[in-house]
Structures are given as structure tokens and as C-alpha cells.
Structure 1
């Protein structure tokens, strides 16, 4: 660009310093505009601009750099005069015109660099990729090496009178600690004087003190406790003095610091051994906090932080505070009854109740339980969650305080909490009930009557899974283990299975419910092996008495097979007569559900006795062609269960070779479903012994069969998505070969390669970041519509167009969308936008993906989007104004309506880009929308929905 050349000319030729400085400043501002608005066009000039900027960072407008016109004699005279006046040296300290804002700008620039560093260091620590991890470590090392010089420089700045300078110092140090926790370990002594000065200086503003306290808090959190022990006697008085400050924000921030100091002077976490004498500090910390805790007329934030701080104090020093507890605990109870402090108080008491010192809470518990029970019916989710956690903690640690009346009060509030509308609340409720059952059996007759029915309803929910389901299993186990009157094992089994054996004709049981009920039956059966064996025998009789034409009988068989499988995972069932024959006979059922359940059952039972069952499963796979798909699912179940932990892996290892060979023999199966199961098994097996098996998998990439190549590439997808980082270094060296199949001549191989690439980009982006330069052209190539893949199929009197390239295009655009989240910095965004524009004119499925991309792009790189608005708006406009033929079927109307809604969302996202409203195409289309009734209604609806979503408060609990 001519302007850059002109700038270089000015550096050399400009004679009038003031005029030159002004022109240079304008040039620098112009460069900034170019970089912001024309990133692609300016990219080749960025090194030149960077060099110019680096040079003028140290430029001093008060120093005469213009010495070109002076001859040697003049220079000698000037030097002699200067030597007489200044002893021959120029010092920045002599320049009284230094501006504070220059320092602040320098601080802000370095802070910005640290923030970028935090992103690099943070991502580099979680992928295991050699190059990226090495780069991350190099950045960390560079920053760490600068720490001594930074602290040395800031040591003096922290004692300056300038408040702006000191605030910038603390901001920089805070960011530094966030990037490198523990970085200031050797320099705390140098920083303490500056901290004390800012906290005690009468001229320090409120904001200065708040920033100082915030810095102290972050430093305390990010360093080992023993680093501060020798400074506590100096630091603590200043913090306590800040607690008593008249400005509530200073008090609030100081209470946060005091809470952190409490943690570090007697640390319990991290197995830190210390001989530090903390006792002398208990009284001043307690008294400073207690004053704020008992005050009634203080700010809400101070009240909450005083409660939190007191909770930490009692948790940490409770064994030294017998007399203080008699005063502070009733005060916490009073705050518990207060609506505006109750949530914070619940959390504080939970902390106290979990103390290792088993403190005497008798002064508050009899009155606290009814209050906590009342919180369970409040319409405040965070309060319910925290209250349930507190009650559970109290039941576990203070069960002696629970009377039958108290338990009754709590249990009366429980039934409405057990439902599918909030599984987290249900989970915590079940955890609390399990704790109650195990400690207070005699008082819990209400559980079978009012609570168990709600639990049985939840078991049938298709939403029940994960930790909530595990809580349900423990709840049922506790019931059986504690032998409730009238609710023994047989009765509970009967009530669990009633929806299956005696179904309600008006309600269909979801497929997931069969699995959940089977897990529950297994959980209560395996408590006693004798009972489990008897239960399996009964279930086998249910399977034998099958009538495939009877829906109820089919459901009973499905459930029985699932339950036998769940029990067989834990208990060896090889002693059960005819078990194997009954399972194999179920493979002949005419019901797909029964056959699928039999497959699961065989695999799960094999886990209980691998030596006996695995050879049988492998033999059946080899010899039973018609059952291969189902038997491979059984094998997949075995591999999934056995690869869960080191102990089970050790049991499977002797069979790895035989399993591996069998799977490779079936990787060319013409049925895609079978190949996918084989691929999943191969991928999971590879994780067990990656050093040996990954190269063997890699060898099959050279197979002449496209089916085999597609199978091993899919196997790589499962290897990546299962997440163990220990094999990432091996994946790093091999993933390039797998992704070379993006150039495979077979379209199906390329499609599965894109799916594997998408998995890598989503789960482990650091594996593929350095390969993007070679992969992206291949990816973009698959976004193109290929006419040779479009064909017409005659369906009776009609002709139907089939696009065989649609699936691979969808896979390509899905990869592009994933890359926006994981690898945006490695993408030429303008080239990327070229293909997004093409996608806006493609098939329905592709359009929907590109609309989502536009919404993301408008936020991530608005300046690039702004430059391409013309190409983006036109296809959106075409979609929004398109009309469906009058004789179209209902489905076409629905698809077009959804397209319009998505296109309008994308348009709204573009409209939010800064300066987009100045684009004439945008303004014309907006005017057309507002003048067209149906578009105007759609626009207003989507805009309202977006506003509600953005304004909706987040419940962080």
C-alpha cells in the first residue's frame, strides 16, 4: 500500500518534528483501521506495520532525534555542552513531561498479551499434541522468565502516588497470576509493601483499595498457603482494617480476602503439612467478621460475605471456638430465617456441618430442621438444591439430633421433589432419603406409603439416566438392605415390574424405562448372590414362556433379558442351568426388541465369566452368518464393559488377538450397520493397547477394499471420541494418514473420513490444528454440488431426483461449523465465507447448517462478515420471500416455514454486526420485511425470542 511506503519515507526525510509526529500518528491510526476493517487485504503488510509499531513504542516526542543535518563539528560542540550540563548522559528521569496515560497504555498492552497467552496456555494443556503442547510450554517459559523483571519494575511503581499507575500494576499482576498460578511465589516479599501502602495510604481512593484487595484475593487463591505464612502478621491487620471501612464495597472485598486468609493459615486441602501457629490469628479474624455478621443495617453484599466468612471460620477453627460457637451459631440461625440471607446461610451451615471436627451444633439444629424443610417447598431452585445438600450432610454427620417429629417434617415435603421435571433435585432428594434410611429406619414408615410411589413413577421416565439413575439404584438398595415391614425384596420387585407385567392400557412404557427398571432389579438382586441366582431363574422362566404375538409377553421377555444381563455383569451366572440356551433361543424371536435385548443379555452375561463366554461368542459370530449383527453387538457390550478400568482390561488382554482378527475378518461386510459395529469394537480395542493396535489399524488404510478402508477410518472416530489423553501422542503421529482418506476415490470413504475429522475437531482439536493447511482445501472441495452424483429415479408415474452427494456435503458443512469453535484462528475466514455463501443456496439441510454458521460468524468475526454482506444477504432474502406451490404437501410448507425462521434469525444476527445497518442491501431488505405482513410478524417474533433468551437470568446452581 502506498501509505506504508509514505510512512517509511517520513521516518527518514521529515525535518519538522512536530508536523512529522502528527502525520505519523495519523498514519498509525490508519494502519489500525486497515487491520480492523480489511484484515485479508492488509495481511501481507502486517510484518511491516508490526515493525513500525514496535519502533515507535519507545519513541519519545520530547527528545530530538533529528540529527541528520548536523555536521561532525556541530555535533562535537553540542556534545561538549551536553557533557557539561548533564555529565554526558540522557536520563528519562530528567524528563518531567512523562504522561501517566502512557504508562497505563503500556500496562494495558501487556495485559492484553497476557490474556492471549492465557488462551494458548489453557488450550495447550489439554490436548497432548506435541507441537501445540510444546508451543504452549514455550510461551509459559517466556512469561515465567519475565516475572523477576516485571516484579522488579513494578516494585517501585506500586509506591508511586499515581493511583492509575498502581491500579494498572495490580491488574497486570492479577492477569499474570491467572496465566501462571504460583508465578509470584519468590516475589511476595517485594509486593507486600506496595499492597500495604495502597491499603493504608490516606490518599488512596476507594477503587484503589478495592483493586488492591481483589489482587490480594487472587494471589492467595493461586499460590501455596505456606508462601504467605511469614507475611500474615503484616497483611492481616491491613485486611481487618479494610473490613471495618465505612464504604461497603471495600468491606465486602475485604471479607472475601479474610475468607481466603482463613483457608491458608490452616489448610486442610492438598495434604499440606505445616507447623504454622495459626491460633493467635483466630480471635482478630473472628471478631472482625462477627461485627459485620451481627450488624443489621448493612449492605446485602456485606451480609452475605460476612455469613460466608463466618462459615469458613467455624469450619476451619471450630475446635478452638467452643465459647464463640454459643454466640455465632444462633446468629447464623437468625440469618437462616431471613429471606434475603437464607440461601447464603444454608451454604455456610453446610460448610460447618462438613467440618472434620464434628462440632457441637445442638444450639441450632432442633430449630434449623423445620426451617430447612420449609425451604423445600419454596419456588427457588437454588435454595432447594442447597437445602437438600445441607439436610443430607446433617443426616450423615449429626443423625443423633434427628427426632421422629423432625424426620416427619422433612419427609412430608419430599414427594413433590421426586419427578422428571428436575432430575438434579430428584437426585439430591434420593441421596438424602438414602442417608435417612441407613440411619433412622424406625422412623421411616412414611417412605413406602408416600415416597416410594413417586420414585416408581420416576423410574418409568425416559429422562432418568446418569447420576440421577445411580441415586435411584442406591435408594432401592437401601430399602432392601434395611428390610422395611411389608416391603421386602419380592414386594419391591413386584412393584417395580408392575408396569411391565400388568400394564396400563392408556399408557405406553418407554423403551428407556425397561433398561432403568432392569438396572433397579439388578441393584437390589446382587445384594445377595443367592437371591440373584434365584431371580435369574425366575426371569428365565418368563423368557421361555414366550408368545411373540402377545405385546405384553414380548415386553416381559425384553425386560427379563435386560434384567438377566444387568445381573450377569456383576455376578457369575455360569452355574445357572440352560442360561446360554435360553438366551440363544431368543435370537430366533420374530420381535426385533427381543432379539436386541438377547444381544445385550449375552454380552453382559459374558462380562461375569469372560473365560467361558467370550470364546463362545466369537465362535457364534464366525459360524452364524444370519446372527452376525446381533452377536457383534454382544461383543461390543463385552468390550465396552471390559475396557472401563485397568482390572477388567487385564482380564480381556489375553483375548485381544483373537478378537482383533475376527473383527478384521468382518470389516468388509456389505451391510453398513454391521461395519459400524465392527468399527466401534476396533476403536475401543485400540484404546486398550494403542502402541500395538494403532499401527495395525493404520495398515488397513492401504486395503484395496473401500469397505475395509471406511471401517478403519470409522474406528479411528471412536478412538478419538472416547477421550483418554494418554494415547494422544500416538494419535498425533498417525491421524494424518487416516485423514488422507479425504482424497480417497470412494465417496463413502471420504464421507466417513469427514465424520472422523469432525470428531477430532470437536473432541481433540489440537490433533488436527497443524494439519488444516492441507486438509481445508479437501474439505472445501466436498462442499460443492456435483452434477454427476445427481440422478433421477422413477417411482411409478413420478420421477424423483436423488443427490448421492448430499450426505458428504452435509458432513463437510458440519465440519466447517465445528471448526468455528475449535480452530477459528487457523482458518482463512474469507475463503471460509465463500463456501458459506454457496451453502446458502444449497439443499434444505445445508441451508439450515449455514444459517447457524452465520449466527456464529456474526459474533466471532464481525469485520469479515461486514465486508461480505452483499453475498450473504441475497440468498437469505430469496429464502424469506420464497413461496411454496399451492399444491404442495403439508411437509413442504413446514420445511419452508422452518427455513424462513432460520434465515430470519441469521439476518437478525447480521443486523447486529456493527455498521451493518449502513449497508444499503441490509436496509432495503429490512424495509421490505417491515412492509410485508407475514415477514414483519416473523421478524418481531424472532426478535422478541432473542431478547427473552438474552435477558433470561442464569441459575448458576
Structure 2
């Protein structure tokens, strides 16, 4: 009977839901049905808290399903969504009457729940739109509705229009459109602005762009157009309304432009005016992009002559978003209106492009190159202008050490389009000369990363012009074996042959290439040897029958060059499709197992990577065979086997997972191996699994965590003293293993927090705070993260955790120590202070006596106080966190 008790119960439930994401399914079974039935609550304040509790459940569901929570995504996230899907009809039944309730607060609470529901499960209200529309119309038209009520209604209407297919709303347009149009004319600018956003979505409902062939004019076009036009023409209105009216008009023209008749040309001129206006130009550029990309093929000829010089001028503005938007608009205009564009009209644009092809902004350069690619294909008349103005700058970008990823892919597409356009002075030979010129010149040597970019560009040209490239391949082979040319020329030759060889069979030149590569593997230059190894591996990809048996034979016979040849094999195994590798599976497997015993750790790591990639060819057969190698008497073999599993985990997203899940427990048994290096590589593999695919190890944590925690302990038997002349130096052979164990602990915080006993975990964190410099740096990061994830547990242990932090901050370095020791101590202090700053964000930390004493000690020390203030300022700047004031 008491509303206070009911309200407290609702608040308590909300706290439980927020704090225990691991119990989400239980909440759906037990709490959610009761909360939904209580939507009928008579007391408004209690009802608000009940809505809030259900919203917390929806937010937690979205968080878990999207992977931002600590509970693992997968079955649990999907099950929560399934449970929510079953409850949607019940929610709608409870809210339907409330949507027409006299209480504004109740209706706002309903819309808040429905907005969260749509965000958590997009499209879930498709069957319930008829039940929603009367409530929406009521809130928009009710004279008793406040401005906030109408705003909330418009916001929700925008959300459901965005998340549901247009056909759900088409039968309800007669009911929805008039109140929305009335809101566009509302004197309150916020309502007008939100109504224009909703109108944009309603345009999509009136006529989806995939139904542009519908010939019957829409009865709603004129009404919506005239109201929007009135707002677009007004100059004395809020900036947000100006922009949204412009955007809404863009959608209207894009979807319904063929129905506007004589109204269209003056409206386009109005958009051109907004393009000239500094305040609205960015929105106008986006509108122009939208209209130009419409499948209705809107006639933009009256606009183009004036618009192109304006767009060209935007490319030199400092506003980055404007430059990117302008390039997108130009790309769409050139692609769809090339027959209306004369070369002279594009000259101002081409004049601005060279300055955009700079390494200082790779994304802007990438978008510029994409525009050039469209220009080459759609408007060949402008190509002669490219040679003198743009290509020198483009090739300068190719020679940049920063070029990679999307920007490089765009340049490759552009070169392919350019060389196949058969434009005079832009043919294969001309482009090849400009690309490779700096390598053959006596000027400054290119950065080694640039050689890879140039090689990919040359290979792209060769792929587009196979006949013309044959002579080039011969020349590259000659360059590779010519003792009189410099190392940079040889490196480029091998890298280019690698890129070409990956795509095609090198035919009659194979024999000569094999000899040249073998000679180069004995070169004194590391760059030449590495490039030759890369070339051999990629030649195996283009012609496995010719090169792979040769490579396997050489690995078995060339003891001095095994490391380089194994790298070649790794390239081949990485790039070759599984069906092409299967005939060689047994030969490769046998060869790799023979090299598991290699003395050099670097060689064993390459062997392990090769084994991991080979397993992906036939996991059902090879995984069990690899598991048998764990019983080998050699620690080298065991470490190689475990490392190989790490590469299967990180490389393959799905197909091998089920097999790995069944057997990964066997590959984690070496956590208790007698050899420290085997334990270290097993920890590294476990860390990889916990980070990339936590589902593989979650069920094994009960068995795996004790040996992981055991490895965080300092082992005195692994510490030894080494005499270095008059000095004695302490060496800890267990340090690398401990570092690996703490790295695993940090990873488990991100992926498996709900599976950890946090108090046992904190015991080992506390030990790590007193360990070696490297371990302390790691545990500071762990403790900082724990302050956010488990503040209450950290607060309970604060007294024990403060002491090692205090010891670090007050430690002194011996007077005669080397400079490196002073730098290490300074970095430790800074990291410890960052951790303390994080601890100060924990609620109720001000009640801790030990923290208060430590803060007094910091304030009393000018050096520590200054350091603390600087770190707190940085923290506030970075994330706006409220931190306990220490002044």
C-alpha cells in the first residue's frame, strides 16, 4: 500500500540490474514480467522509477549484446534478445492505454521505454505500429501537451521511422503527416527542428528510393514541400532550423523531385544561395550530394555552371569536413552528370586537388584519389590536365613512408583505371618510369616502406597490361642479379617480382628467377635478403606447382639460409588457398616438425607460425597430430607446438573454433611444465585466446587460473647473480614468465571479469605492486582499470593497496646511480600517481583513512603535490572525470 516501499523496490531492482549483467537472463525470467505489469502504477513518481528500472534492463541488454559489457557476447547476448523479443507484445499491451493518458509525465515515460526498446531491438515494433499511431497523434495534437511532450513524441517518431521499414507506416500517412506538418510551422524552434527531421523520414515513407518508378503523384508532396520551402526561405530563424530545412528539402527533391514540376528550378537556385552562404554551405554540400545521387536523375544543369567554382573554392578551406563533403559531392556529380560537364568547368577543381594529395591527411588524400578514379572513368576529356598538375604530387604520396591501407588501395585503383584509359603520355611505360625513377636516381634513398608501395603500384600496372609488362619482368630479374646496381634497385626488383608473382605464373622466367633468389639470399645486405625471401614466398602463391617443391627442397638442404627460406614458406602458407596447399600438406608438415628443434628462438617462432597456418588447411586432421607432439621430451618442440596454436587463434575467426574449443585444454596443460620458457609461451597463447576468442577458455578458467596465479609469484630459485668485472648483476630468469602472467590477468579483466574471484585476483595485484619495475608498471594499469570495473572491491582493499603505492612514490634512487635508474623511478612515480588519481574517482573513497593520510603526505611534498596536480589536470581534460580535490 505504501508508495515509498514500491518506489524503493523499483530503485533496488534497477541497481541490481545495472550491477549484475551476468544475471541478465534471470532478470528477464523473474523481474521483467513483474515490472511490466506495474506500468499501471497509480503514483507518478513510482511509475517513473518503474520505467527507469525497465530502461536499465534494456540498456544492459544492448550493452551485453554489442560486447561492451563484461559478460561475453554470444549465447547469453542472443538469449537476452530472444527473451526481450517475447516480451514486446506484453510491453505494448501495458503501454498502449498509457500513450493517451492525461498525465504528461506518464506519456513521456512511455516514450522513453519505447525509444530504449527500439534501440535494443530495431524493427521489433513493426507489428505494433497501428497501436502506436493514435498515441503519437494524440501527443502531437493535444492542446494540453507541453513543448517537451511534443518534442519527446517527435524524437520517438524519428527513432521508429529510422528503425523500421517504410511500408509499416505507409497506411498511416494520412494520420501522421498533418500533425508533423503543423509542428514544422510551430513558433518554438526546437519543435520545428525536430519535426523537420521527422519529415525527412516521412519522405522516405511516401516514396522509398527503390520504388522510384511509381508514376502516381503523392497527395502529400505539395503540402510537405510548401511548408518546408517556407522554412527554407526564412532568413531570420535559428541556425539548426535553417540546416534541417535545407536537409529536408534535399530529401524531398531526392525522393519526389519528379513531382515538383515548375517548383524545382527556383528551389535549386535557393540551394545554390545556401551553398554561397558560409553558415549553411556544409549542409548545402551534403544536400547537393544527396540530390545528385538520386536515381530520379534530377536535372541539375541550371546549377552546375555556378556550383562547380564554388565547390572548387571549398577545397582550399581549413574546414576538413567541408573538404571531405565537397569531394564526395564532386565525385557523385562527375559520375552521374559527366555528359553535362565540360573540361573547362572542371579546371578549377583540378587546380585545387594537388594540395589535397598530401601525407599530412591520408584520409583526405584517399577521398581525393577516389574522386580522380571516377574522373578517369566518367570524364576522359579531363585526363590531359592530370599529367602536369596532379601526377607528380600523387607519386610523391606513393613514395611516402606513411602510405598504407585504404589510401594505397585507392591509388592502385586509380593507376589501374588510368593505364587502361589509353591516354597519350599516360601509358604503362610513362607511369612505370615516374614510379621507379627516384629509386634509380642518385638522389635521396626512399624509406623502406615506400619500396613496398612502389612495388604494389608497378604490379598493378603489370596486371592491367600483361603484354607490355613481360619486358619489365625480364628487366627486374636483370636488376636483381646485376652486381653493379645498388641495393635499393635490387630490393625494388625483388619486391615487384613478389607482387607480380603472387598474381600470375612467371612462365619461362622461373628457372632464372630461382637462381637469382638463391644468390640473393647470400647477399651481405639484410634488405636484399629479406626482399628475395619475400619474392620466393609470393612466387609460390602464383605458381605453387613450380615453386613450392623447390622451396621445400631448399629448406631441407640450405642450413645457413633456413630462417629466410622459412619466411618464404610462411608467405606461401599465408596467401595460398587451402585447396592448392592440400597436395603438399604432408611434405610441409614433415619438414616443419623436423625444424621444431631449431636452436634459434626466432627460427622456432617462424616454424610455429607456419604450423599454425598449415593447420588451418585441414584442422580436423592436423590438430590431433599437433597435440601428440606435446608429449615430446624436448622443451623446444613443446614451446613451438603451443606457439603454433596462438597463430591458429588469432588468424582464423570462425571455422576452426569448435575444434579448438574441444582440445585447447590439452594445449594449456604446459602451464605447469617444468621448463620456464614453455610456461611463458603457454601464457602468451592463453592471453591471445582470452583476448581474441574468450569463448575458447571461459569454461576452463577454474582449472587454468591457479597455475596462472602461481606464475605471478617471485621464484627465488630462478634468481642468480652474474659477475661483471668488479660488479655483481642480479638476473631474474622468471621475470618474463611473471610479465606474461600479469598480462593474462589484465586481459581477463576485459573479457572474463564475471568469471573471476575478484578478491583472490586482488591478492596477486597487491604482490605485483611490490615486484620488479616492469611488473609494477603492469599492475598500476590493472589497478587503474579495476577502480572503474570493481570500485567496491578495490575500496575494501584500499588500506593494503595504498602501502606499496606510497612506497613507490617516496622511494629514493641511490646518489651514484646511472641516469636510466632516475628515469625509471620518475616513470614509476608518474604511473603510481595516475593510479591514485583513478582510485580517487571511487565513490566514498574520501571515507578511507589510509587514503586521507596519503593525500596529506602528498600535499606536504612539493614535488609529489606538483606531479599530482598535473596528472589530475590531464585526467580532467581527457575525460571530464570528477576527482577528489586534494588542495
Same structural fold, with TM-score higher than 0.5 when normalized by the shorter chain: yes
- Which of 180, 201, 205 is the matching residue for 1:264? 205
Q: Between Structure 1 and Structure 2, whose CA radius of gyration is higher?
A: 1
Mapping 1:34-45, distance limit 5 Å: none
- Which of 349, 355, 360 is the matching residue for 2:294? 355
**Inter-partner Cα distance in structure 2 for 1:477 and 1:58:** 60
Instruction: Give the match for residue 332 of structure 2.
Output: 393
Q: Is the alpha carbon distance of 1:877 and 1:36 closer, same or farther for their aligned partners in structure 2, counting shifts above 3 Å?
A: farther
- Which of 734, 738, 742 is the matching residue for 1:809? 738
What is the CA distance between 1:661 and its match in structure 2? 3.4
- Which of 628, 637, 640 is the matching residue for 2:571? 637
Mapping 1:493-532, distance limit 5 Å: 493-504=432-443, 507=444, 509-532=446-469
Instruction: Give the match for residue 556 of structure 2.
Output: 622
Instruction: Give the match for residue 653 of structure 1.
Output: 582
CA-to-partner distance for each residue in 1:298-324, whole Å, 9 max, x for gaps?
A: 222222222222222222233434433
**Structure 1 stretch 48-57 or stretch 914-923: which is displaced more?**
48-57
Please say if residues 125 and 133 of structure 1, whose CA atoms lie closer than 8 Å, have aligned partners that are also in contact.
no
Q: The residue matched to 1:626 in structure 2 has which SS?
A: coil
**Inter-partner Cα distance in structure 2 for 1:704 and 1:277:** 81
Instruction: Give the match for residue 496 of structure 2.
Output: 563
Mapping 1:838-877, distance limit 5 Å: 838-877=767-806
Q: Is the alpha carbon distance of 1:935 and 1:361 closer, same or farther for their aligned partners in structure 2, counting shifts above 3 Å?
A: same
Please say if residues 839 and 845 of structure 2, whose CA atoms lie closer than 8 Å, have aligned partners that are also in contact.
yes
State yes or no: 1:715 paired with 2:654.
Answer: no
**Structure 1 stretch 363-372 or stretch 310-319: which is displaced more?**
310-319
Q: Is the alpha carbon distance of 1:478 and 1:117 closer, same or farther for their aligned partners in structure 2, counting shifts above 3 Å?
A: closer
**Inter-partner Cα distance in structure 1 for 2:646 and 2:407:** 29
Instruction: Give the match for residue 613 of structure 2.
Output: 684
Please say if residues 293 and 307 of structure 1, whose CA atoms lie closer than 8 Å, have aligned partners that are also in contact.
yes
CA-to-partner distance for each residue in 1:572-603, whole Å, 9 max, x for gaps?
A: 11321611111111111122221111110011
State yes or no: 1:250 paired with 2:191.
Answer: yes
Q: Is the alpha carbon distance of 1:621 and 1:246 closer, same or farther for their aligned partners in structure 2, counting shifts above 3 Å?
A: same
**Inter-partner Cα distance in structure 1 for 2:408 and 2:686:** 33
Instruction: Give the match for residue 57 of structure 2.
Output: 113
**Inter-partner Cα distance in structure 2 for 1:310 and 1:877:** 63
Please say if residues 11 and 49 of structure 2, whose CA atoms lie closer than 8 Å, have aligned partners that are also in contact.
no
Q: Is the alpha carbon distance of 1:869 and 1:336 closer, same or farther for their aligned partners in structure 2, counting shifts above 3 Å?
A: farther
**Inter-partner Cα distance in structure 2 for 1:273 and 1:914:** 58
Please say if residues 35 and 54 of structure 2, whose CA atoms lie closer than 8 Å, have aligned partners that are also in contact.
no
What is the CA distance between 1:469 and its match in structure 2? 0.9
What is the CA distance between 1:445 and its match in structure 2? 4.5
Please say if residues 546 and 554 of structure 1, whose CA atoms lie closer than 8 Å, have aligned partners that are also in contact.
no
Q: Is the alpha carbon distance of 1:657 and 1:35 closer, same or farther for their aligned partners in structure 2, counting shifts above 3 Å?
A: same
CA-to-partner distance for each residue in 1:842-892, whole Å, 9 max, x for gaps?
A: 222222222222332222333333333323333233223333333322322
**Inter-partner Cα distance in structure 2 for 1:823 and 1:594:** 45
**Inter-partner Cα distance in structure 2 for 1:870 and 1:515:** 55
CA-to-partner distance for each residue in 1:611-648, whole Å, 9 max, x for gaps?
A: 21112112222232322221121111112222xxxxx4
Instruction: Give the match for residue 836 of structure 1.
Output: 765
Instruction: Give the match for residue 72 of structure 1.
Output: none
State yes or no: 1:295 paired with 2:295.
Answer: no
State yes or no: 1:553 paired with 2:482.
Answer: no
**Inter-partner Cα distance in structure 2 for 1:461 and 1:28:** 63
**Inter-partner Cα distance in structure 2 for 1:920 and 1:323:** 78
Q: The residue matched to 1:355 in structure 2 has which SS?
A: coil
After the TM superposition, which segments of 4 or more aligned residues of structure 1 sit over 6 Å from their partners?
24-37, 48-60, 124-127, 272-278
**Inter-partner Cα distance in structure 2 for 1:240 and 1:59:** 36
Consecutive unaligned residues of structure 2, counting only runs of 5 or more, are: 882-887
Instruction: Give the match for residue 3 of structure 1.
Output: none
**Inter-partner Cα distance in structure 1 for 2:330 and 2:682:** 52
**Structure 1 stretch 809-818 or stretch 691-700: which is displaced more?**
691-700
**Inter-partner Cα distance in structure 1 for 2:36 and 2:551:** 75
Consecutive unaligned residues of structure 1, counting only runs of 5 or more, are: 1-16, 61-91, 643-647, 953-957
**Inter-partner Cα distance in structure 1 for 2:69 and 2:216:** 37
State yes or no: 1:156 paired with 2:97.
Answer: yes
State yes or no: 1:340 paired with 2:273.
Answer: no
**Inter-partner Cα distance in structure 1 for 2:872 and 2:143:** 51
State yes or no: 1:102 paired with 2:40.
Answer: no
Q: Is the alpha carbon distance of 1:762 and 1:335 closer, same or farther for their aligned partners in structure 2, counting shifts above 3 Å?
A: farther
Please say if residues 36 and 90 of structure 2, whose CA atoms lie closer than 8 Å, have aligned partners that are also in contact.
no
What is the CA distance between 1:275 and its match in structure 2? 8.1
What is the CA distance between 1:564 and its match in structure 2? 1.0
**Inter-partner Cα distance in structure 2 for 1:220 and 1:59:** 27
Note the aligned Cα RMSD (angstroms). Answer: 3.6
State yes or no: 1:672 paired with 2:606.
Answer: no
What is the CA distance between 1:805 and its match in structure 2? 1.4
What is the CA distance between 1:409 and its match in structure 2? 1.2
**Inter-partner Cα distance in structure 1 for 2:455 and 2:34:** 73
Q: The residue matched to 2:701 in structure 1 has which SS?
A: helix
What is the CA distance between 1:817 and its match in structure 2? 2.0
Please say if residues 529 and 571 of structure 1, whose CA atoms lie closer than 8 Å, have aligned partners that are also in contact.
no
**Inter-partner Cα distance in structure 2 for 1:497 and 1:59:** 74
Please say if residues 17 and 27 of structure 2, whose CA atoms lie closer than 8 Å, have aligned partners that are also in contact.
no
- Which of 127, 132, 143 is the matching residue for 1:186? 127
Please say if residues 63 and 69 of structure 2, whose CA atoms lie closer than 8 Å, have aligned partners that are also in contact.
no
**Inter-partner Cα distance in structure 2 for 1:523 and 1:52:** 61
Instruction: Give the match for residue 316 of structure 1.
Output: 255
Mapping 1:530-609, distance limit 5 Å: 530-546=467-483, 553-576=486-509, 578-609=512-543
Instruction: Give the match for residue 884 of structure 2.
Output: none
Q: Is the alpha carbon distance of 1:219 and 1:563 closer, same or farther for their aligned partners in structure 2, counting shifts above 3 Å?
A: same
Q: Is the alpha carbon distance of 1:217 and 1:694 closer, same or farther for their aligned partners in structure 2, counting shifts above 3 Å?
A: farther
What is the CA distance between 1:28 and its match in structure 2? 7.6
Please say if residues 334 and 379 of structure 2, whose CA atoms lie closer than 8 Å, have aligned partners that are also in contact.
no
State yes or no: 1:231 paired with 2:172.
Answer: yes
**Inter-partner Cα distance in structure 2 for 1:251 and 1:730:** 58
Q: The residue matched to 1:521 in structure 2 has which SS?
A: helix
CA-to-partner distance for each residue in 1:212-235, whole Å, 9 max, x for gaps?
A: 222222222222332222222222
Alignment size in residue pairs: 879
**Inter-partner Cα distance in structure 2 for 1:126 and 1:657:** 43
Q: Is the alpha carbon distance of 1:756 and 1:319 closer, same or farther for their aligned partners in structure 2, counting shifts above 3 Å?
A: farther
Instruction: Give the match for residue 74 of structure 1.
Output: none
What is the CA distance between 1:145 and its match in structure 2? 1.9
Instruction: Give the match for residue 279 of structure 1.
Output: 218
TM-score (norm. length: structure 1)? 0.85
Instruction: Give the match for residue 147 of structure 2.
Output: 206
Q: Is the alpha carbon distance of 1:191 and 1:54 closer, same or farther for their aligned partners in structure 2, counting shifts above 3 Å?
A: closer
What is the CA distance between 1:487 and its match in structure 2? 5.2
- Which of 642, 659, 662 is the matching residue for 1:733? 662
**Inter-partner Cα distance in structure 1 for 2:770 and 2:814:** 19
What is the CA distance between 1:351 and its match in structure 2? 1.8
Q: The residue matched to 2:97 in structure 1 has which SS?
A: helix
**Inter-partner Cα distance in structure 2 for 1:55 and 1:432:** 55
Please say if residues 265 and 278 of structure 1, whose CA atoms lie closer than 8 Å, have aligned partners that are also in contact.
no
Mapping 1:686-701, distance limit 5 Å: 686-701=615-630
**Structure 1 stretch 907-916 or stretch 150-159: which is displaced more?**
907-916
Q: The residue matched to 2:123 in structure 1 has which SS?
A: coil
State yes or no: 1:780 paired with 2:724.
Answer: no
What is the CA distance between 1:895 and its match in structure 2? 2.4
Please say if residues 723 and 763 of structure 1, whose CA atoms lie closer than 8 Å, have aligned partners that are also in contact.
no
Q: The residue matched to 1:526 in structure 2 has which SS?
A: helix
Q: The residue matched to 1:425 in structure 2 has which SS?
A: helix
CA-to-partner distance for each residue in 1:225-260, whole Å, 9 max, x for gaps?
A: 322222222222222222222222222222222222
**Inter-partner Cα distance in structure 2 for 1:396 and 1:540:** 41
Please say if residues 428 and 468 of structure 2, whose CA atoms lie closer than 8 Å, have aligned partners that are also in contact.
no
Please say if residues 789 and 805 of structure 1, whose CA atoms lie closer than 8 Å, have aligned partners that are also in contact.
yes
**Inter-partner Cα distance in structure 2 for 1:928 and 1:678:** 54
